[in-house]
Amino acid sequence: MKAAICRSLNSPLSIEDVELGPPGKDEVRLNVAACSICHSDLSFMRGDWGRNPPFLLGHEIAGVVETAGQNVTGLTVGDRVVATLIKSCGHCACCEDNLEVLCTTPPPADGGGISTPEDGAIDVLMNTGGFAEQVVVHQRQCIIIPDEMSFEAASLLGCGVITGYCAATRVGKIKPGESVAVAGVGGVGINAIQAARIAGAETILAIDTDSSKEALFREMGATGYINPLEGDAIKAVHEANNGQGLDIVLVGVGSSRVIENAIGMIRSGGRVVIMGMPASDDLATLDLGVLANDAKSLIGTKMGSAMIREDIPKLIELYQQGEIHLDSLISHRYPFDDINTAIETALKPGSSRVVILFDHEGT
Protein backbone atom coordinates (compact mmCIF):
# COMPACT_ATOMS: atom_id res chain seq x y z
CA MET A 1 0.00 0.00 0.00
CA LYS A 2 0.98 3.65 -0.26
CA ALA A 3 1.63 6.11 2.56
CA ALA A 4 2.81 9.73 2.69
CA ILE A 5 5.90 9.72 4.93
CA CYS A 6 7.43 12.79 6.55
CA ARG A 7 11.18 12.31 5.94
CA SER A 8 12.37 15.78 6.87
CA LEU A 9 10.84 18.70 8.72
CA ASN A 10 9.36 21.62 6.76
CA SER A 11 9.43 19.57 3.56
CA PRO A 12 6.86 17.87 1.31
CA LEU A 13 5.75 14.38 2.29
CA SER A 14 7.10 11.41 0.33
CA ILE A 15 4.46 9.06 -1.11
CA GLU A 16 5.96 5.57 -0.89
CA ASP A 17 5.12 1.89 -1.02
CA VAL A 18 5.09 0.56 2.55
CA GLU A 19 4.18 -2.63 4.37
CA LEU A 20 1.34 -2.70 6.89
CA GLY A 21 1.16 -5.60 9.31
CA PRO A 22 -2.11 -7.42 10.06
CA PRO A 23 -4.33 -6.36 12.95
CA GLY A 24 -3.51 -7.92 16.29
CA LYS A 25 -5.72 -8.68 19.26
CA ASP A 26 -8.54 -6.10 19.66
CA GLU A 27 -7.46 -4.30 16.47
CA VAL A 28 -8.98 -3.68 13.04
CA ARG A 29 -7.50 -2.75 9.70
CA LEU A 30 -9.36 -0.01 7.86
CA ASN A 31 -9.46 1.05 4.25
CA VAL A 32 -9.13 4.82 4.66
CA ALA A 33 -11.78 6.68 2.66
CA ALA A 34 -11.16 10.22 3.93
CA CYS A 35 -8.59 11.94 6.12
CA SER A 36 -8.90 15.57 7.13
CA ILE A 37 -5.75 17.64 7.66
CA CYS A 38 -5.50 18.92 11.22
CA HIS A 39 -3.26 21.71 12.52
CA SER A 40 -1.56 19.14 14.74
CA ASP A 41 -0.27 17.37 11.63
CA LEU A 42 1.24 20.65 10.44
CA SER A 43 2.79 21.28 13.86
CA PHE A 44 4.57 17.93 13.81
CA MET A 45 5.80 18.63 10.27
CA ARG A 46 7.31 21.92 11.47
CA GLY A 47 9.02 20.25 14.41
CA ASP A 48 6.99 22.15 17.02
CA TRP A 49 6.55 19.12 19.26
CA GLY A 50 10.00 17.61 19.13
CA ARG A 51 9.50 14.44 17.06
CA ASN A 52 12.16 13.49 14.53
CA PRO A 53 11.40 12.02 11.07
CA PRO A 54 10.69 9.65 9.54
CA PHE A 55 7.11 9.37 10.73
CA LEU A 56 3.55 8.98 9.47
CA LEU A 57 0.82 11.50 10.29
CA GLY A 58 -2.92 11.86 9.73
CA HIS A 59 -5.46 11.31 12.50
CA GLU A 60 -8.90 12.53 11.38
CA ILE A 61 -10.00 9.48 9.44
CA ALA A 62 -13.09 7.64 8.27
CA GLY A 63 -13.21 4.40 6.35
CA VAL A 64 -14.33 0.79 6.21
CA VAL A 65 -13.29 -2.19 8.33
CA GLU A 66 -11.27 -4.44 6.00
CA THR A 67 -10.08 -7.03 8.56
CA ALA A 68 -10.90 -7.64 12.21
CA GLY A 69 -8.35 -9.14 14.57
CA GLN A 70 -8.83 -11.57 17.42
CA ASN A 71 -11.23 -10.58 20.23
CA VAL A 72 -12.81 -7.71 18.28
CA THR A 73 -16.42 -7.23 19.32
CA GLY A 74 -18.97 -4.76 18.02
CA LEU A 75 -17.13 -4.24 14.71
CA THR A 76 -17.32 -6.45 11.64
CA VAL A 77 -15.84 -6.40 8.15
CA GLY A 78 -17.64 -3.79 6.05
CA ASP A 79 -18.58 -1.49 8.92
CA ARG A 80 -18.25 2.21 8.15
CA VAL A 81 -16.40 3.96 10.98
CA VAL A 82 -14.71 7.14 12.13
CA ALA A 83 -11.42 6.47 13.95
CA THR A 84 -9.90 8.82 16.50
CA LEU A 85 -6.47 9.15 18.05
CA ILE A 86 -7.99 8.54 21.51
CA LYS A 87 -6.76 5.12 22.59
CA SER A 88 -8.04 4.13 26.02
CA CYS A 89 -8.27 1.10 28.27
CA GLY A 90 -11.70 1.98 29.67
CA HIS A 91 -10.90 1.07 33.28
CA CYS A 92 -8.02 3.19 34.65
CA ALA A 93 -8.69 6.10 37.03
CA CYS A 94 -8.75 8.64 34.18
CA CYS A 95 -11.12 6.57 32.04
CA GLU A 96 -13.46 6.05 34.98
CA ASP A 97 -13.34 9.82 35.61
CA ASN A 98 -14.56 10.57 32.06
CA LEU A 99 -11.04 11.51 30.96
CA GLU A 100 -10.26 8.69 28.56
CA VAL A 101 -8.10 11.05 26.50
CA LEU A 102 -5.68 10.98 29.48
CA CYS A 103 -5.79 7.18 29.82
CA THR A 104 -2.81 6.01 31.89
CA THR A 105 -2.72 2.47 30.46
CA PRO A 106 -3.67 2.68 26.77
CA PRO A 107 -3.64 -0.69 25.00
CA PRO A 108 -0.27 -1.37 23.35
CA ALA A 109 -0.11 -1.91 19.61
CA ASP A 110 -0.40 -5.65 19.03
CA GLY A 111 -0.18 -5.82 15.25
CA GLY A 112 -0.12 -3.48 12.30
CA GLY A 113 2.95 -1.34 12.08
CA ILE A 114 4.26 0.55 9.04
CA SER A 115 7.63 -0.42 7.63
CA THR A 116 9.85 0.09 4.60
CA PRO A 117 12.77 -2.06 3.43
CA GLU A 118 15.27 0.74 4.01
CA ASP A 119 14.04 2.02 7.38
CA GLY A 120 12.34 -0.88 9.06
CA ALA A 121 9.54 0.34 11.32
CA ILE A 122 8.22 3.87 10.79
CA ASP A 123 6.79 5.83 13.72
CA VAL A 124 3.02 6.23 13.45
CA LEU A 125 2.11 9.37 15.36
CA MET A 126 -1.14 9.95 17.23
CA ASN A 127 -2.15 6.27 17.14
CA THR A 128 -3.60 6.43 13.62
CA GLY A 129 -1.42 7.14 10.58
CA GLY A 130 -4.22 8.25 8.29
CA PHE A 131 -1.98 9.66 5.55
CA ALA A 132 -2.04 6.14 4.12
CA GLU A 133 -4.39 3.92 2.18
CA GLN A 134 -4.89 1.62 5.17
CA VAL A 135 -4.43 1.84 8.94
CA VAL A 136 -4.50 -0.55 11.89
CA VAL A 137 -6.18 0.86 14.99
CA HIS A 138 -7.54 -0.45 18.29
CA GLN A 139 -11.27 -1.19 18.27
CA ARG A 140 -11.86 1.35 21.06
CA GLN A 141 -10.68 4.09 18.68
CA CYS A 142 -13.57 3.43 16.30
CA ILE A 143 -17.21 4.53 16.22
CA ILE A 144 -19.67 3.22 13.61
CA ILE A 145 -21.23 5.89 11.38
CA PRO A 146 -24.58 5.76 9.53
CA ASP A 147 -24.66 4.56 5.92
CA GLU A 148 -26.05 7.90 4.76
CA MET A 149 -23.20 9.93 6.29
CA SER A 150 -20.36 10.81 3.94
CA PHE A 151 -16.85 9.73 4.87
CA GLU A 152 -15.51 13.26 4.41
CA ALA A 153 -18.02 14.71 6.90
CA ALA A 154 -17.41 11.83 9.32
CA SER A 155 -13.64 12.31 9.22
CA LEU A 156 -14.01 15.74 10.84
CA LEU A 157 -15.42 14.08 13.95
CA GLY A 158 -12.08 12.38 14.63
CA CYS A 159 -10.41 15.41 16.24
CA GLY A 160 -11.35 19.01 15.44
CA VAL A 161 -15.10 18.72 15.96
CA ILE A 162 -15.01 16.71 19.19
CA THR A 163 -12.20 18.89 20.57
CA GLY A 164 -14.00 22.20 20.00
CA TYR A 165 -17.48 20.97 20.84
CA CYS A 166 -16.48 19.10 24.00
CA ALA A 167 -14.14 21.88 25.21
CA ALA A 168 -17.14 24.20 25.14
CA THR A 169 -19.63 21.77 26.66
CA ARG A 170 -17.78 19.25 28.84
CA VAL A 171 -15.01 21.58 30.03
CA GLY A 172 -16.34 25.11 29.56
CA LYS A 173 -19.89 24.08 30.55
CA ILE A 174 -21.42 26.95 28.59
CA LYS A 175 -24.90 27.83 29.84
CA PRO A 176 -27.81 29.59 28.12
CA GLY A 177 -27.44 33.36 28.09
CA GLU A 178 -23.67 33.42 28.71
CA SER A 179 -21.22 35.63 26.85
CA VAL A 180 -18.51 33.73 24.98
CA ALA A 181 -15.52 34.41 22.75
CA VAL A 182 -13.47 31.96 20.73
CA ALA A 183 -9.93 33.23 20.13
CA GLY A 184 -8.41 31.45 17.15
CA VAL A 185 -11.19 30.09 14.95
CA GLY A 186 -9.55 27.21 13.13
CA GLY A 187 -10.68 23.60 12.89
CA VAL A 188 -11.18 23.45 16.66
CA GLY A 189 -12.43 26.96 17.35
CA ILE A 190 -15.14 26.88 14.69
CA ASN A 191 -16.74 23.94 16.48
CA ALA A 192 -16.54 25.67 19.83
CA ILE A 193 -18.61 28.43 18.20
CA GLN A 194 -21.14 25.84 17.05
CA ALA A 195 -21.27 24.37 20.56
CA ALA A 196 -21.82 27.82 22.09
CA ARG A 197 -24.71 28.43 19.69
CA ILE A 198 -26.30 25.06 20.48
CA ALA A 199 -25.83 25.68 24.23
CA GLY A 200 -27.77 28.95 23.96
CA ALA A 201 -25.00 31.52 24.54
CA GLU A 202 -26.26 35.06 24.01
CA THR A 203 -23.01 36.67 22.84
CA ILE A 204 -20.54 34.66 20.74
CA LEU A 205 -17.51 36.60 19.52
CA ALA A 206 -15.15 35.15 16.93
CA ILE A 207 -11.60 36.49 17.35
CA ASP A 208 -9.36 35.64 14.42
CA THR A 209 -6.88 37.31 12.06
CA ASP A 210 -8.46 35.84 8.89
CA SER A 211 -11.19 38.33 7.96
CA SER A 212 -12.02 36.36 4.81
CA LYS A 213 -13.75 33.76 6.99
CA GLU A 214 -16.04 36.14 8.88
CA ALA A 215 -19.09 34.94 6.94
CA LEU A 216 -18.30 31.33 7.90
CA PHE A 217 -17.87 32.31 11.56
CA ARG A 218 -21.28 33.95 11.55
CA GLU A 219 -22.86 31.03 9.69
CA MET A 220 -21.63 28.72 12.47
CA GLY A 221 -23.13 30.94 15.17
CA ALA A 222 -20.88 33.94 15.91
CA THR A 223 -22.79 37.10 16.78
CA GLY A 224 -19.74 39.33 16.31
CA TYR A 225 -16.24 39.31 14.82
CA ILE A 226 -13.00 40.92 16.02
CA ASN A 227 -9.75 40.99 14.08
CA PRO A 228 -6.93 41.39 16.65
CA LEU A 229 -4.66 42.87 13.98
CA GLU A 230 -6.95 45.89 13.70
CA GLY A 231 -6.66 47.22 17.26
CA ASP A 232 -6.74 46.33 20.94
CA ALA A 233 -8.60 43.01 21.06
CA ILE A 234 -9.23 43.17 24.82
CA LYS A 235 -10.79 46.63 24.50
CA ALA A 236 -12.83 45.49 21.48
CA VAL A 237 -14.19 42.51 23.43
CA HIS A 238 -15.36 44.71 26.30
CA GLU A 239 -16.94 47.20 23.89
CA ALA A 240 -18.79 44.37 22.14
CA ASN A 241 -20.13 43.11 25.48
CA ASN A 242 -21.59 46.35 26.88
CA GLY A 243 -18.34 47.28 28.60
CA GLN A 244 -18.18 44.03 30.53
CA GLY A 245 -15.81 41.10 30.55
CA LEU A 246 -17.02 37.80 29.13
CA ASP A 247 -18.15 34.72 31.01
CA ILE A 248 -15.78 32.48 29.06
CA VAL A 249 -13.06 32.64 26.39
CA LEU A 250 -12.06 29.47 24.58
CA VAL A 251 -8.58 29.67 23.05
CA GLY A 252 -8.31 27.67 19.85
CA VAL A 253 -4.72 28.54 18.97
CA GLY A 254 -1.65 27.26 20.81
CA SER A 255 -0.18 30.66 21.68
CA SER A 256 0.88 31.98 25.09
CA ARG A 257 0.23 35.55 23.93
CA VAL A 258 -3.38 34.75 23.02
CA ILE A 259 -3.88 32.94 26.32
CA GLU A 260 -2.49 35.92 28.24
CA ASN A 261 -4.85 38.28 26.39
CA ALA A 262 -7.81 35.98 27.00
CA ILE A 263 -7.44 36.43 30.77
CA GLY A 264 -7.99 40.16 30.27
CA MET A 265 -11.16 39.48 28.29
CA ILE A 266 -13.10 37.68 31.02
CA ARG A 267 -15.04 39.12 33.96
CA SER A 268 -14.23 38.43 37.60
CA GLY A 269 -15.17 34.83 38.16
CA GLY A 270 -14.87 34.10 34.44
CA ARG A 271 -12.97 31.26 32.84
CA VAL A 272 -10.48 30.68 30.04
CA VAL A 273 -10.32 27.24 28.40
CA ILE A 274 -7.14 26.36 26.48
CA MET A 275 -8.12 24.18 23.50
CA GLY A 276 -5.13 24.68 21.17
CA MET A 277 -1.90 22.86 21.96
CA PRO A 278 1.05 25.27 22.33
CA ALA A 279 4.55 24.35 21.23
CA SER A 280 6.67 22.68 23.91
CA ASP A 281 8.75 25.79 24.64
CA ASP A 282 5.94 28.40 24.54
CA LEU A 283 5.92 29.91 28.04
CA ALA A 284 3.34 32.40 29.34
CA THR A 285 3.73 35.30 31.77
CA LEU A 286 0.72 35.62 34.04
CA ASP A 287 -0.18 38.00 36.86
CA LEU A 288 -1.19 35.39 39.40
CA GLY A 289 -2.50 38.11 41.70
CA VAL A 290 -5.14 38.96 39.11
CA LEU A 291 -6.13 35.30 38.79
CA ALA A 292 -6.49 34.96 42.55
CA ASN A 293 -8.02 38.34 43.40
CA ASP A 294 -10.55 38.23 40.56
CA ALA A 295 -11.25 34.49 40.94
CA LYS A 296 -10.50 33.87 37.27
CA SER A 297 -10.03 30.29 36.10
CA LEU A 298 -7.50 29.08 33.54
CA ILE A 299 -8.39 25.56 32.42
CA GLY A 300 -6.39 23.25 30.19
CA THR A 301 -7.98 20.49 28.18
CA LYS A 302 -6.78 17.82 25.78
CA MET A 303 -9.20 17.10 22.93
CA GLY A 304 -11.99 18.67 24.95
CA SER A 305 -11.90 15.75 27.41
CA ALA A 306 -14.06 13.94 24.84
CA MET A 307 -15.61 10.54 25.60
CA ILE A 308 -15.98 9.25 22.07
CA ARG A 309 -18.58 6.54 22.73
CA GLU A 310 -20.87 9.24 24.14
CA ASP A 311 -19.88 12.33 22.20
CA ILE A 312 -19.48 11.12 18.61
CA PRO A 313 -22.94 9.46 18.44
CA LYS A 314 -24.40 12.64 19.95
CA LEU A 315 -22.63 14.78 17.33
CA ILE A 316 -23.84 12.48 14.54
CA GLU A 317 -27.39 12.94 15.83
CA LEU A 318 -26.95 16.72 15.92
CA TYR A 319 -25.58 16.58 12.35
CA GLN A 320 -28.57 14.57 11.15
CA GLN A 321 -30.89 17.10 12.81
CA GLY A 322 -29.11 19.99 11.08
CA GLU A 323 -27.95 21.45 14.40
CA ILE A 324 -24.21 21.05 13.84
CA HIS A 325 -22.69 21.76 10.44
CA LEU A 326 -19.93 19.59 9.00
CA ASP A 327 -20.13 19.73 5.20
CA SER A 328 -19.83 23.52 5.07
CA LEU A 329 -16.65 23.34 7.16
CA ILE A 330 -14.85 21.64 4.26
CA SER A 331 -13.28 24.21 1.96
CA HIS A 332 -11.15 21.92 -0.21
CA ARG A 333 -10.95 18.27 -1.25
CA TYR A 334 -7.93 16.57 -2.84
CA PRO A 335 -7.06 13.04 -3.97
CA PHE A 336 -4.36 11.28 -1.98
CA ASP A 337 -1.76 11.77 -4.72
CA ASP A 338 -2.13 15.54 -4.24
CA ILE A 339 -1.59 15.48 -0.47
CA ASN A 340 1.27 17.99 -0.58
CA THR A 341 -0.89 20.47 -2.47
CA ALA A 342 -3.59 19.86 0.13
CA ILE A 343 -1.15 20.68 2.93
CA GLU A 344 -0.10 23.89 1.18
CA THR A 345 -3.76 24.83 0.88
CA ALA A 346 -4.41 24.11 4.57
CA LEU A 347 -1.71 26.65 5.44
CA LYS A 348 -3.26 29.46 3.40
CA PRO A 349 -5.70 32.11 4.69
CA GLY A 350 -9.27 31.48 3.64
CA SER A 351 -9.14 27.70 3.90
CA SER A 352 -11.00 25.84 6.59
CA ARG A 353 -10.94 22.02 6.67
CA VAL A 354 -9.03 20.35 3.84
CA VAL A 355 -9.87 16.68 3.24
CA ILE A 356 -7.86 13.98 1.49
CA LEU A 357 -10.01 11.46 -0.39
CA PHE A 358 -8.93 7.88 -1.13
CA ASP A 359 -10.29 5.70 -3.91
CA HIS A 360 -11.15 2.25 -2.57
CA GLU A 361 -13.55 -0.06 -4.35
CA GLY A 362 -16.67 -0.37 -2.23
CA THR A 363 -16.11 2.71 -0.05
**pLDDT tens for each residue of 152-199:** 999 999 999 999 999 999 999 999 999 999 999 999 999 999 999 999
Decide: 107 and 26 in contact? Cβ < 8 Å.
yes
- 19/2 Cα distance (integer angstroms): 8
- 145 CB-near residues (< 8 Å, 6+ apart): 62, 80, 81, 82, 154, 316
| pTM of full prediction above 0.85 | yes
Decide: 182 and 207 in contact? Cβ < 8 Å.
yes
Q: How many CB atoms lie within 10 A of CB 127?
A: 18
Decide: 60 and 191 in contact? Cβ < 8 Å.
no
How do residues 225-254 score in pLDDT, each as one tens digit?
A: 999 999 999 999 999 999 999 999 999 998
Classify 239 in phi/psi space as left (phi over 0), alpha (psi -120 to 50) or beta.
alpha
How do residues 90-116 score in pLDDT, each as one tens digit?
A: 999 999 999 999 999 999 988 878 998
How do residues 302-346 score in pLDDT, each as one tens digit?
A: 999 999 999 999 999 999 999 999 999 999 999 999 999 999 999
Mean pLDDT of the chain: 95
Decide: 237 and 248 in contact? Cβ < 8 Å.
no
pLDDT of residue 238: 97
| CATH numbers and ranges of domains, the chain | 2-158+326-357 (3.90.180.10), 161-302 (3.40.50.720)
CA distance between the termini of the chain? 16
pLDDT of residue 361: 55
pLDDT of residue 328: 95
How do residues 10-23 score in pLDDT, each as one tens digit?
A: 999 999 999 999 99
The β-bridge partners of 204 are 180
